[in-house]
Amino acid sequence: MPVDAEGREVASATAPGAVGSRRVVKLQLVHRTPVEDIPTQITAAWGRILVGVGRTLRLYDLGARRLLRKSEARGFPGPITSIAVSLDRVFVGDALETVHVVKYKHAEGSLVIFADDVATRHTTALAVLDHDTVAVRAAAAAGAGSGAGALCLACVPLLCRARTSSATCSSCACPRT
């Protein structure tokens, strides 16, 4: 819908609907928080923000003078290129090994990587389909010619979904969450 100078929606000549109004709120810089690497992705989660800083996923909360680091998960093989959240799970795409699944443990305040995709693709975008499945947009391979890339679906394995109290899954050796 087109918007006028005051931020009100105006009806177009082809739309026979009603005219609504919205207030445009200006963004205000609260403060800057220095980080040691380039922040590549930012997304909201649980009233805080998740930030991909190089090869690290960080959870920040808003403080009076700067962002407060609450938790982090290190060890991603490449720079983080995309982040998508579903309940307590975070799907993280990186530039080297597609998708990693991270669980946020609210009681401990920790981020734990518990699954990853076995295919190696440069992830450019993620979309959560359900709690266990994510759609992955991967960049085209160098020299492939088309430049269109690929669309893939990645699911958390059934054996990793059904958790027990032992430390690892019996078949895939991923840590319990």
10-residue mean pLDDT series, the chain (177 residues): 66 55 74 88 91 92 89 90 90 87 89 83 88 83 57 75 42 43
pLDDT given for residue 176 in this prediction: 40
- Give the closest residue to 76 by CA, choosing from 44, 111, 109, 47: 111
pLDDT given for residue 72 in this prediction: 92
The pTM (predicted TM-score) of the whole model is 0.72
Q: Is residue 110 part of a domain?
A: yes
Q: Is residue 75 part of a domain?
A: yes
pLDDT given for residue 5 in this prediction: 67
Q: Is residue 176 part of a domain?
A: no
pLDDT given for residue 7 in this prediction: 66
Residues 6 or more apart from 38 whose CB is under 8 A from it?
53, 54, 79
Q: Is residue 55 part of a domain?
A: yes
Q: Is residue 34 part of a domain?
A: no
Q: Is residue 57 part of a domain?
A: yes
What are φ and ψ of residue 148, in 5° steps?
A: -80, -25
CATH code of the domain containing 85: 2.130.10.10
Distance separating alpha carbons of residues 81 and 93, to the nearest angstrom: 6
Q: Is residue 22 part of a domain?
A: no
pLDDT given for residue 28 in this prediction: 82
Q: Is residue 2 part of a domain?
A: no
Structurally, the chain folds into a number of domains equal to: 1
pLDDT given for residue 63 in this prediction: 86
pLDDT given for residue 177 in this prediction: 40
What residue numbers bound the domain in which 118 lies? 39-157
